[in-house]
């Protein structure tokens, strides 16, 4: 078992007492995610779906709903009265959204279409609701449950912790204030003091920003040119549905194949992602490699209430050999992950600038942080072994569970600037390796049917089979 897996197990097993002196300000990465959402209008969501093929305990689902509302997943963001002040986490005064019980049954084949539709719900990390729980009967007698919420409130591990606590009933009291608890004069004084305290970081961020802009001037010029071309190319503000699918592979089959290829479960996931990226045309022109941006969990304590407790590893993988030998991919990913943990991304030094930037400048920082690169980066996140409680939203094991990333209000212009999109998320639960794929390829047929066919073909190349929703 890896050190990261051991830390995750300890994290889910422990409980922590709230920090009595915590001010609950958002960390700079969390604030950046929030400000980018406001500046671009594009929301990043997370969704967990459970499918019960046996009778559902509705009272237990209601209890889960109440518990989740008390967890970190139920928090909101309160802005500072200072225009450059840091926002804070607060406990909302209003009740969360009620459970939505749909009466009209949907076909099982339309499960993912139904789940996709929930991305259109009004979700707002500041004003709420930040999440919804929806129950949907299926025509084959099964029942689907979906929880969908803002990624600004938490990352995959954070969401898993909130679900774990809601299932077990061991919900932490973080000690958050209610909105508006601080008198205005007190809030202004405290937030101004914090801004002064942050000034050294802000100055370093400014210097780093100047250097980065100069160092990436060619990339930024290409990005601006791409943006200008997209804006002149027609209905760029059109909202686009990005196809998404989910794969289920038996853990034993997956692990055996990883071993045969000289890899691990993690490197097989990376290999699968790289091969799928190749099929979707996401190889860089210079050498044909696939550029992966891998999310790395940095959360090791329940005292850590960051929404996004993560680093990002950049790994370059040759997709041509991964179906026969994972040795190189395993080494590349190991090195990239260790580098990300030990050598923080220099662009993160820009984050202390975020409280001081106008909306237009926030978009510029987005270009620096998430470059619209000709490398065609692929986002992938491996949640690893998840505790069985995450499959027990009503106290019993759901037959199928999956967690995935979703995007809200994605425009054609954004997809053209990024040359498409590929986001892959994986976890191990209920005896299955579950892989969700969200992908869009410019100029291609962007449908679930095509994406399923491509994913099934890649599984076959690895000598694997699985169910695909």
Q: Domain with 235 in it: what CATH number? A: 3.30.559
Do 325 and 457 belong together in one domain? Answer: yes
Quick check: 441 and 420 in contact, CB under 8 A? yes
> Are both 449 and 354 inside the same structural domain?
yes
Please determine, for residue 294, whether its predicted confidence score (pLDDT) is greater than 60: yes
Cis peptide before 354 (omega within 30 of 0): no
- Residue 229 confidence (pLDDT): 53
141 versus 368: the higher-pLDDT residue is 141
Residue 22 has pLDDT above 80, yes or no: no
User: Could you tell me if residue 174 is inside a domain?
Assistant: yes
Residue 19 confidence (pLDDT): 38
pLDDT digits (tens, 9 = 90+) for 305-316: 899 988 888 889
pLDDT tens column, 395-444: 999 999 999 998 888 888 888 888 899 999 999 999 999 999 999 999 89
Given the structure tokens 């040759």, which residue do they identify?
Answer: 318
Considering its fold, how many domains does the chain have in total?
Answer: 2
- SS3 readout for 224-280: HHHHHHHHCCCCCCCECCCCEEEEEEEHHHHHHHHHHCCCCHHHHHHHHHHHHHHHC
How does pLDDT run across 243-270, given as a tens digit for each residue? Answer: 999 999 999 999 999 999 999 999 999 9
The answer to whether position 183 is within a domain reads yes
Let me know whether 204 and 186 are in one domain. no
> Which residue segment(s) compose the domain that 445 sits in?
199-385+411-468
Q: 213 falls in which pLDDT band (50, 70, 90)?
A: low
- Residue 417: name the closest of 376, 359, 368, 454 by CA: 376
Same domain, 278 and 373: yes
| Residue 49 and residue 145 in contact, taking contact as beta carbons nearer than 8 Å | yes
Q: Which residue carries 């409130």 as its tokens? A: 153
Looking at the structure, tell me whether residues 63 and 208 fall in a common domain.
Answer: no
Among 19-28, 47-56, 271-280, 413-422, the range scoring the smallest mean pLDDT is: 19-28
Torsion angles phi and psi, residue 185, rounded to 5: -65, -40
Query: Does residue 120 belong to any structural domain of this protein?
Result: yes
pLDDT at 326 over 70: yes
Q: Which residue has the higher pLDDT, 368 or 193?
A: 193
Residue 15: the pLDDT is: 43
Q: What does the pLDDT read at residue 366?
A: 65
**Residues 442 and 367 reside in one and the same domain:** yes
Q: Is the residue at 50 inside a domain? A: yes
By three-state DSSP, how is residue 197 classified? Answer: helix
Q: Summarize pLDDT for 62-73 with one digit per residue, the tens.
A: 999 999 998 888
User: Which alpha helices (H) appear in 104-177, and where do they start and end?
Assistant: 111-117, 156-168
Please identify, among 197, 220, 238, the residue that sits at the C-terminal boundary of a domain.
Answer: 197
Is it the case that residue 17 has pLDDT exceeding 60?
no
Q: Which residue has the tokens 């998840």?
A: 386
Question: What's the helix, strand, coil split of the chain in %, to 5?
Answer: 45, 20, 35
DSSP code of residue 309:
-
**What is the percent of the chain with per-residue pLDDT over 90, rounded to a whole number?**
53
Residue 273 has pLDDT above 50, yes or no: yes
- Which pLDDT band, with edges at 50, 70 and 90, does 343 fall under? confident
Please name every residue paired with 408 in a beta bridge, in sequence order, or none if there are none: 43
Residues linked to residue 296 through DSSP beta bridges, in sequence order: 311
- DSSP strand pairing (143-150 vs 244-250): unpaired
Is residue 400 assigned to a domain?
no
- Per-residue pLDDT at 86 exceeds 60: yes
Among candidate residues 213, 217, 237, 255, the one with its CA nearest the CA of residue 42: 237
Kindly state the average pLDDT of the residues 178-195: 91
Judgement on whether residues 161 and 40 belong to the same structural domain of the protein: yes
pLDDT tier for residue 8 given thresholds of 50, 70 and 90: low
What would the mean pLDDT of 205-225 be, rounded to a whole number? Answer: 66
In the prediction, which pLDDT does 354 show?
84
> What's 26's domain CATH number?
3.30.559.10
Closest CA to 323 of 428, 458, 452, 434: 458
Mean pLDDT computed over 319-326 = 92
Q: Are 12 and 123 contained in the same domain?
A: yes
145 and 270 belong to one structural domain: no
Query: Would you say residue 339 lies in a domain?
Result: yes
Which of the pair, 111 or 6, is modelled with greater confidence? 111
Instruction: Give residue 216's pLDDT.
Output: 62
Residue 401 lies in a domain: no
Q: What is the pTM (predicted TM-score) of this model? A: 0.88
- Same domain membership, residue 319 and residue 436: yes
Determine, yes or no, domain membership for 390.
Answer: no
Inter-residue contact 131 to 113 (CB < 8 Å):
no
Answer with the one of 166, 197, 228 that is the final residue of a domain. Answer: 197
Lowest mean pLDDT among 1-15, 99-113, 271-285: 1-15
Q: Which of 33-47, 212-226, 380-394, 401-415 has the lowest mean pLDDT?
A: 212-226
Low-confidence winner among 18-32, 322-336, 439-453 (lowest mean pLDDT): 18-32
Q: Look at residue 20 in the predicted model and tell me its pLDDT.
A: 35
Q: How far apart are CA 59 and CA 221, in angstroms?
A: 57
Q: Are strands 378-385 and 131-137 parallel, antiparallel or unpaired?
A: unpaired
Domain boundary among 144, 179, 197: 197
User: What pLDDT does 71 receive?
Assistant: 87
Q: What integer pLDDT is reported at residue 9 of this predicted model? A: 55
| 406 beta partners | 45
Percent of the chain with pLDDT over 70: 88
How far is residue 469 CA from its own chain's centroid? 20
Centroid of chain to Cα 86: 23
**How confident is the model at residue 205, as a pLDDT?**
81
Residues 188, 233 within the same domain: no
321 with 379, same domain: the answer is yes
């Amino acid at each position: 078992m890896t050190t990261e897996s051991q830390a995750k197990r300890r994290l889910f097993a422990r409980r922590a007492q709230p920090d009595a002196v915590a001010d609950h300000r958002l960390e700079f990465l969390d604030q950046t995610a929030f400000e980018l959402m406001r500046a671009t209008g594009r929301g990043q969501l997370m969704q967990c779906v459970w499918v019960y093929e046996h009778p559902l305990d509705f009272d237990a689902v209601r209890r889960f709903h109440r518990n989740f509302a008390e967890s970190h997943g139920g928090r909101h963001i309160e802005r500072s009265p200072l225009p450059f002040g840091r926002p804070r986490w607060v406990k909302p005064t209003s009740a969360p959204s009620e459970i939505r019980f749909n009466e009209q049954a949907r076909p099982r084949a339309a499960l993912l279409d139904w789940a996709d539709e929930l991305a259109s719900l009004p979700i707002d990390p500041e004003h709420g609701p930040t999440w919804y729980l929806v129950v949907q009967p299926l025509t084959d007698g099964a029942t689907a449950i979906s929880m969908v919420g803002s990624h600004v409130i938490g990352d995959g591990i954070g969401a898993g912790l909130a679900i774990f606590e809601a299932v077990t009933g061991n919900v932490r009291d973080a000690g958050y204030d209610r909105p508006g608890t601080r008198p205005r004069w007190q809030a202004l004084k405290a937030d101004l003091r914090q801004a002064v305290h942050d000034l050294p970081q802000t100055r370093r961020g400014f210097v780093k920003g100047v250097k980065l802009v100069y160092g990436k001037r060619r990339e930024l010029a290409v990005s601006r040119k791409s943006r200008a071309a997209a804006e002149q190319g027609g209905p760029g503000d059109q909202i686009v549905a990005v196809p998404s699918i989910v794969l289920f592979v038996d853990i034993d089959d997956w692990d055996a194949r990883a071993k045969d290829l000289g890899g691990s479960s993690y490197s097989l996931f990376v290999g699968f992602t790289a091969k799928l990226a190749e099929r979707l045309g996401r190889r860089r022109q210079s050498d044909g490699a696939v550029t992966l941006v891998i999310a790395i969990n940095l959360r090791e304590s329940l005292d850590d209430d960051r929404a996004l407790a993560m680093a990002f590893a950049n790994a370059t993988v040759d997709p041509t050999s991964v179906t026969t030998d994972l040795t190189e991919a395993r080494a590349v990913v190991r090195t990239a992950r260790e580098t990300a943990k030990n050598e923080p991304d220099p662009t993160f030094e820009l984050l202390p600038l975020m409280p001081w930037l106008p909306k237009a400048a926030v978009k510029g920082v987005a270009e620096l942080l998430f470059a619209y690169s000709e490398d065609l980066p692929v986002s992938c996140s491996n949640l690893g072994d998840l505790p069985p409680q995450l499959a027990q939203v009503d106290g019993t094991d759901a037959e199928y569970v999956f967690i995935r990333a979703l995007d809200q209000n994605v425009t054609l212009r954004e997809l053209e600037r990024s040359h498409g999109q590929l986001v892959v998320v994986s976890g191990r639960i209920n005896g299955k390796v579950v892989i969700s794929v969200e992908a869009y390829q410019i100029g291609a047929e962007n449908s679930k049917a095509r994406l399923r066919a491509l994913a099934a073909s890649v599984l076959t190349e690895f000598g694997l089979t699985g169910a695909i929703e």
